[in-house]
Chains A and B, each alone.
Chain A
């Protein structure tokens, strides 16, 4: 049955997670992964879902909507379906779900998933905000204003992909979250929560000391630094570990910086990455955090390597006396 409905899409470029469903449908149409008859059925079902949603939007008391509203309704439906298909962790599985399940069923599951993500996003931000209290910066605090709007104004039914949150606070390794709507918000707030938990692996005073020294370089207060505090701390941790010291102290002396330079400046990016990933094993009792930090290792080690190449390692990290 499966092979009748869908051809395997292996060896194809991965589909972008932003506008995922539409990306899958376009790819399926181009590559012939789903038969045309089924694609037409999907298109018709999407249209029917849009009509029903538009009727609900008008509370059944108007027979028309503006073009902008209809486009928003379509984006909302597709976002709900995105929320379900992204769980499947694979383009082939997601394409198969599109071929096997009805649009209505996927949308219904998607609505539940969007609501769950909404609740998860709120819980994650609240936890992150509380955990960040000892390390609060003005940039992090700015998130609160939009968060209260997100809490009260997010419309999971008619405007599910609305971008209410401005991601003004950076993440480790300048990680970019491109997902829109509640999917992006949940990912961003989840990342903030994880990074706040990471900071609490270290003594508060040590982290605050890092913030103070970093701010001192630029003649500003620790509260006004625009960088991610977790990124500063992560750099210190990796550098100390790679220099052969105890990363949990977050201390990198001038000697340690020299050792680090001598050991890794000529090594390949892959070598540095492997060594950095190994250093995370100290926190193997936090598997979710390790998995998150592992994703941050490539950009952070790449910027470390760039610091080696340009001789700016002492600016890349904070050297302690």
Chain B
């Protein structure tokens, strides 16, 4: 008899180990050609098991390909690997730990729009990994994710919740508004919408703040200067800014990122055009690997 009484999540599992191992082996082409690194079949087996354990321990269900092949492509260029397979395993565990933690924060608060994409999490991990504070140290990277990205997500959610509460408070005192709350919401563009619409400016800010010079980290974009040099400009321009009269600190990448996200947690979310670039990049890696994996059939 077909058992429909069991939880459907128990039977869910699209992770095919052989397919995963083939994808991992396919990354050897780039790893070996450019960095003289490679994964053995035993390494691939270990990485597949690491992924399965990480998914289970972090209460996640994978329905597509796992993150490890893409993660390898993101991190290879750093050139920091000493014990390549073990470090890839550590990075995989870190990815799923923070994926789960960040996703749960969003879900608990019913803020799907704040969810970070896989590429965005990899981006933050990579930026920490290569910054002088980590310089390839995965433990330090995990610490920075916990110290900077998780609190920034909490702040972002808190701000959006406050905004939502304020909007609800506006209508809760008025019966007619409360009765037609959906129609009013459709007519009124929230600050979130306005912020999202300002794509060009947001894209420019994100790129200048996150993709700037990795050493001194002081992007020369005029917007950045305007944003950080003149608090009055910020107060007027940014609906979420809550700056007091303190001046911005120019320091290491992590200090400045922490500062930036403290003031404006909306910048945690990458712009749509950057996400698209990352998607294209990941598609290209996947296509190259697929071509290469035929060799391993």
Contacts and interface: CB of A to CB of B under 8 A. Distances in A.
A290 to B, nearest CB: 28
B63 A63 contact: yes
B179 A147 contact: yes
B182 interface: yes
A134 to B, nearest CB: 14
Interface stretch (B85-93, B109-117, B221-229): B109-117
A65 B178 contact: no
Nearest to B8: A74
B63 A148 contact: no
Given A50-B12, A63-B65, A29 B1 contact: yes
B83 interface: no
A39 B112 contact: no
Contacts of B100: 66
Interface string A49-71: 01100110111011111111111
B208 interface: no
Contact of A66 (B61, B171, B175, B182): B61
A64 B181 contact: no
A63 B67 contact: yes
A22 B172 CA distance: 38
A30 interface: yes
A39 B118 contact: no
B172 A25 contact: no
B59 interface: yes
Interface string B1-43: 1111101110110100000000000000000000000000000
Contacts of A4: none
Interface residues of B, number: 46
Interface string B236-269: 0000000000000000000000000000000000
B216 interface: no
B5 A63 contact: no
A103 to B, nearest CB: 12
Contacts of A189: none
Given A26-B4, A55-B64, A68 B107 contact: yes
Nearest to A25: B4
A79 to B, nearest CB: 14
Interface string A121-157: 0100110010000000000000011011101110000
B117 A30 contact: no
The 9 residue pairs across chains A and B that have the minimum distance between CB atoms: A63-B64, A61-B117, A151-B182, A148-B181, A39-B2, A25-B4, A148-B178, A64-B62, A151-B181
Interface of A: 22, 25-26, 29-30, 32, 36, 39-40, 43, 46-47, 50-51, 54-55, 57-59, 61-71, 74, 122, 125-126, 129, 144-145, 147-149, 151-153, 158
Given A65-B63, A67-B61, 18 more contacts: A29-B3, A32-B1, A36-B1, A43-B4, A43-B8, A50-B63, A55-B63, A64-B67, A65-B61, A65-B103, A66-B107, A71-B9, A125-B179, A144-B179, A147-B179, A148-B168, A148-B179, A149-B168
